[in-house]
A and B are shown apart, each in its own frame.
Chain A
Amino acid sequence: MNATNHTCDARSAAAVPTRAAPAYLPPVDIFETPDEICLAAEVPGARAADIDIQFENGQLTLRAAISPRRVDGARCVACEYGIGDFVRRFELGDQIDPNNISAELVHGVLTVHLPKAAAIKPRKIEVKGA
């Protein structure tokens, strides 16, 4: 078992090359309620200031900038995962109200709330008796 083998984890295989450092695809849960689409992404190591969320032309981009965590003077004995930015894009179309997107970051999990546009929210139609 050498260090080179250990770095070949499944995540780095899916890494998207950007700039000089690799970026990783965070695993995501997406669920939908009548009022919103909610998205939870794992971005361990990110703080709120490191998160960049952009919504443009129906495309949502999540980016978490992760600064390298290295202990001074330490050498790697076994490195099983790589450390780098998390980036992921989603196509949302025009069903989302872009002005009311909100997000929170708790223990390395980023939750993005995407409220549905009023036009597509389910409406209950009252039937009037004549």
Chain B
Amino acid sequence: MLNRTLFPLAGLEGMRREMNRLLGNALLETPFTQAYPPINLWETDDALIAEAELPGLTMDNVELLVMGDALTLKGRRIAADHSGANVHRSERATGEFVRSLTLPLAVNPDAVEATLKDGILTVRMPKSAEARPRKIQVKGL
């Protein structure tokens, strides 16, 4: 009671805090939207390997840019022509996409190799000479 009379806004502050708590939790529980396409990135001793699922696409529909430590993947998923047909379900997404990824280290853009087979894009990016691990010989004195 004392609280209410002397600090009329104290109740509001409590309410604000409560709202933040509720909304904050709700936001945390909302599943984040996945960027397209999802990419799996692997690292070996001498290269980074990126892999993405691009079903229905060929290299004609995909553009790949590698610069320093950035990989950009552009493409277009063309909608199949269903004119004259009744569409019951349309779950496959269509349209253009762009995805950029910062690589954990610099790669050699001239030596990048990409293949697209059975809807799987594999990009092999050899590490730049500076980024390769070097074994240091320890000399005994």
Interface residues of A (CB under 8 A from B): 8-10, 13, 27-33, 37-38, 40, 42-47, 69-71, 73-81, 83, 106-109
Contacts and interface: CB of A to CB of B under 8 A. Distances in A.
A107 B58 contact: yes
A10 B33 CA distance: 8
A107 B89 contact: no
Given A44-B118, A47-B118, 16 more contacts: A29-B87, A30-B89, A32-B87, A42-B56, A42-B92, A43-B119, A44-B55, A45-B119, A71-B42, A71-B49, A73-B44, A73-B45, A74-B42, A75-B43, A77-B41, A108-B119
A40 B53 CA distance: 16
B43 A45 contact: no
B86 interface: yes
Interface string B32-64: 001000111111110011010111111000000
Contacts, number: 110
A64 B84 CA distance: 30
B41 to A, nearest CB: 4
A78 B55 contact: no
A80 B34 contact: yes
Contact of B82 (A31, A44, A107): A31
A109 B56 contact: yes
19 contacts: A27-B91, A28-B91, A29-B91, A31-B82, A42-B53, A42-B56, A45-B53, A69-B120, A74-B43, A75-B43, A76-B40, A77-B43, A78-B40, A79-B41, A80-B39, A80-B40, A81-B53, A108-B120, A109-B55
Given A40-B80, A71-B42, A107 B87 contact: no
A77 B48 contact: yes
Contacts of B92: 27-29, 40, 42
B90 interface: yes
Given A28-B92, A33-B84, A108 B55 contact: yes
A47 to B, nearest CB: 6
Given A42-B56, A107-B55, A31 B87 contact: yes
Contacts of A40: 80, 92
A31 B88 CA distance: 5
B42 A30 contact: no
A66 B73 CA distance: 24
Contact of A79 (B40, B48, B84, B88): B40
A74 B48 CA distance: 9
Contacts of A13: 31
